[in-house]
């Protein structure tokens, strides 16, 4: 399912090489038709905007959104665990899932980096990919709404991901997350304070998977919202 890989690619740090292949990204999205025409139009507007920006301006916008605004972080586990010890174990578990699927991380990004996770999901069946998106749909929806508050065209990617999921976001959970943080731009002092605070999605023994034995794949991603079915080599869970 190349659509998910393309959506993740659009969320990576902007580069000249990225801009050069946006036409190919359009072709893939239109050919697979995994998302609606309305979402495709919004994604096209995003790509047209990216093509029309000076690269340095585009990079500054990206950093302002995803690197300087904790509530827009593209590292999924940060929205559940922050920088706690539980996140470290969750990252180890997710790395092992990638390894079991025959995938090796070759970037400096953490395993829970959304573009990396979406690239992994592009290698499994559409049904399995949807199950995994379901597990993170509340976080994805909250980030998307925060990007809308910032009037960012990047919100189109998160709308498309929510559309691709079988499960609708929990409106109450998303609203609570938005009440905690709307996605506004922060001063450096506010950003430091935000990183230290507990994130909006509850971090409990149930969601951290603590209980004696090593968490399974389902238990690991359950930290985000709900159990899912992640396949490794040979289709095993």
Q: What is the pLDDT of residues 117-131, one digit of tens each?
A: 999 999 988 888 998
DSSP string, 8-73: HHHTSPP-HHHHHTHHHHHHHHHHH--S-HHHHHHHHHHHHHHHHS-HHHHHHHHIIIIIT-GGG-
Q: Give pLDDT, residue 87.
A: 72
pLDDT digits (tens, 9 = 90+) for 166-198: 889 999 999 998 988 888 876 666 666 655 654
Does the pLDDT of residue 215 top 70, yes or no? no
């Amino acid at each position: 399912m190349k659509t998910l890989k393309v959506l993740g690619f659009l969320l990576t740090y902007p580069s000249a090489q990225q801009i050069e292949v946006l036409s190919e990204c359009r072709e893939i999205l239109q050919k697979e038709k995994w998302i609606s025409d309305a979402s495709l139009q919004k994604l096209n507007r995003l790509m047209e905007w990216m093509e029309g920006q000076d690269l340095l301006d585009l990079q500054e916008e990206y950093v302002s959104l995803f690197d300087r605004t904790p509530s827009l972080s593209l590292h999924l586990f940060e929205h559940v665990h922050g920088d706690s010890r539980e996140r470290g174990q969750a990252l180890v578990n997710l790395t092992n899932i990638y390894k079991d699927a025959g995938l090796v991380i070759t970037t400096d990004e953490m395993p829970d980096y959304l573009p990396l996770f979406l690239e992994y999901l592009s290698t499994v069946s559409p049904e399995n990919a949807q199950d995994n998106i379901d597990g993170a749909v509340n976080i994805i929806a909250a980030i998307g709404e925060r990007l809308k508050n910032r009037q960012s065209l990047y919100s189109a990617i998160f709308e498309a991901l929510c559309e691709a999921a079988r499960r609708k976001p929990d409106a109450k959970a998303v609203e609570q997350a938005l009440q905690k943080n709307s996605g506004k731009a922060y001063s450096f002092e506010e950003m430091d304070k935000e990183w230290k605070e507990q994130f909006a999605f509850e971090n409990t023994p149930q969601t951290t998977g603590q209980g004696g034995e090593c968490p399974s794949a389902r238990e690991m991603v359950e930290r985000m919202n709900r159990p899912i079915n992640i396949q490794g080599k040979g289709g095993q869970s």
